[in-house]
Amino acid sequence: MFMKTHKTASSTFLNVLFRFGEKQKLKFAFPNSRNDFLYPSAFQHTYVQGFRSGMCFNIMCNHMRFNAPEVAKVLPKDTTYITILRDPAQLFESSFHYFGHIVPLTWRIPGEDKMAEFLRDPTIYFSPDGFNSFYLKNLLFFDFGQDNTLDADDPRVEQSIRLIDKRFHLVMLMEHFEESLILIKDILCWEMSDLLFFKLNSRKETTVSKLTPELRTKALQWNSIDWELYKHFNLTFWKKVEAYGRERMEKDVAELRMRNAEMVRICIEGGHSVVAGDIHEEAMQPWQPIGEKSIMGYNMKKNIDKAYQVLCQKMLTPEIQYLTDLGVNMWLTKLWGHVRNFINW
């Protein structure tokens, strides 16, 4: 089970899981009509497409608001639980940019640098009852099904972190994505070839706000629960790396990087991502945030060796298109996409 958090490179790992599941002919527990399990509602087992009592699923990996008892109704008792975290200041910057247009409380923030103005004094603008306000405060903690408005020193925060630690076998770190993959390979007995990836859903550099030391401090203070969560699992992560062996890890990461670089050479036209307007095929267009096209994508090379054609295609396929290829009923997500395109939003 991969608990897909927001703005943490989780879509990149999702592509890895999709390919592994297809290769091994595993059964996915998918949502119905959209690409998430009715997020931000707490997950219910009835949200799984075609769920019937007694069904056996191998992989669950779409966005949800985690609800452990309900997830347990879908997956076997010996399921391995994995998730991923990101530095909360950087995550806040990314979330503010990506989701800001659908959080009405941001609409009244004055000035060009809305994020800086918000962080100057978040209490002026933030309301826990505001529509979609959870995107702008302790989003990681919220994704885990917890109350993101608690004070960081509330004993329920530490209790929740302990429960998450007990439930999840591995908490990946976005900043150490390759090391995280190597640990997954070790836990799940995968092959190095199962870990190949291209970075998906990355933003144009020009749209990324640079966090000054002052803004970073304010972002961490505002997202103090996520910061506690991240610090806890940063420690557990490096303990796992130590147990794996530092030299062994460095060797394996170097091999993974070499293999990924080779796949870039084989698959990607120009060897790099491009802006949405320069993507040739509609099938390769990533989902964009409302109001702009800041998410990068790729063009696949022509005349790729037949031995790599399918792999290149799958590694480069964006999440929504891949879900459709896997047979997920995406009518609601697609309808929303058509509406957005029609009104040019």
Q: Is residue 318 part of a domain?
A: no
In a 3-state reduction of DSSP, which class is residue 153?
A: coil
- Tell me, yes or no, whether 286 lies in a domain: no
Within the chain, strands assigned E span 2-3, 28-29, 59-60, 82-85, 170-173
For residue 302, being part of any structural domain is answered with no
Contact indicator for 323, 36 with CB cutoff of 8 Å: no
Q: What DSSP state is assigned to residue 152?
A: T
Residues 183, 197: Cα–Cα separation, whole Å? 15
In a domain, 116, yes or no: yes
Digit-coded pLDDT (tens) for 100-122:
989 999 999 999 999 999 999 99
Is-contact 190 181, C-beta < 8 A? no
- 270-304 confidence digits (pLDDT tens): 999 999 889 999 889 988 777 778 899 999 999 99
How many domains are contained in the chain?
1
Q: Are 38 and 65 in contact (CB under 8 A)?
A: no
Q: Residue 81's closest CA among 233, 237, 187?
A: 187
CA pair distance 288, 274, nearest whole angstrom: 14
Separation of alpha carbons 78 and 198, rounded Å: 30
Distances from the Cα of 54 to the Cα of 18, 208, 261, angstroms: 23, 46, 43
User: Nearest CA to 297 among 171, 199, 226, 157?
Assistant: 199
In this predicted structure, the answer to whether residue 310 has a pLDDT above a threshold of 80 is yes
> What angle, rounded to 10 degrees, do the helices at 177-188 and 246-267 form?
110
Q: What pLDDT, on a 0 to 100 scale, did the predictor assign at position 53? A: 87
71 domain-assigned: yes
N- to C-terminal Cα separation, the chain? 34
- Domain presence at residue 75: yes
pLDDT for res 332? 66
Instruction: Give residue 327's pLDDT band: very low, low, confident or very high (50, 70, 90).
Output: confident
pLDDT in tens, 45-104: 999 999 998 888 999 999 999 999 999 999 999 999 999 999 999 999 999 999 998 999
Compute CA 32 distance to the chain's CA centroid, rounded to the nearest angstrom. 19
Nearest one of 258, 278, 282, 259 to 269, comparing CA atoms: 278
The Cα 14–Cα 21 span in angstroms is 10
- Separation of alpha carbons 88 and 203, rounded Å: 17
For position 145, which CATH number holds? 3.40.50
Predicted structure pTM score: 0.93
Residue 338 has pLDDT above 80, yes or no: no
What confidence tens digit (pLDDT) does each residue in 153-198 have?
999 999 999 999 999 999 999 999 999 999 999 999 999 999 999 9
Range of the structural domain that residue 62 is part of: 2-269
Q: What is the pLDDT of residues 207-225, one digit of tens each?
A: 888 899 999 999 999 999 9
Residue with tokens 């970073």: 216
Q: Indicate the angle between helix axes 224-244 and 213-222, nearest 10 degrees.
A: 100
Q: Is residue 319 part of a domain?
A: no
Alpha-carbon distances, residue 331 vs 320, 339, 340 (angstroms): 11, 12, 14
Asked, for residue 340, whether it belongs to a domain, the answer is no
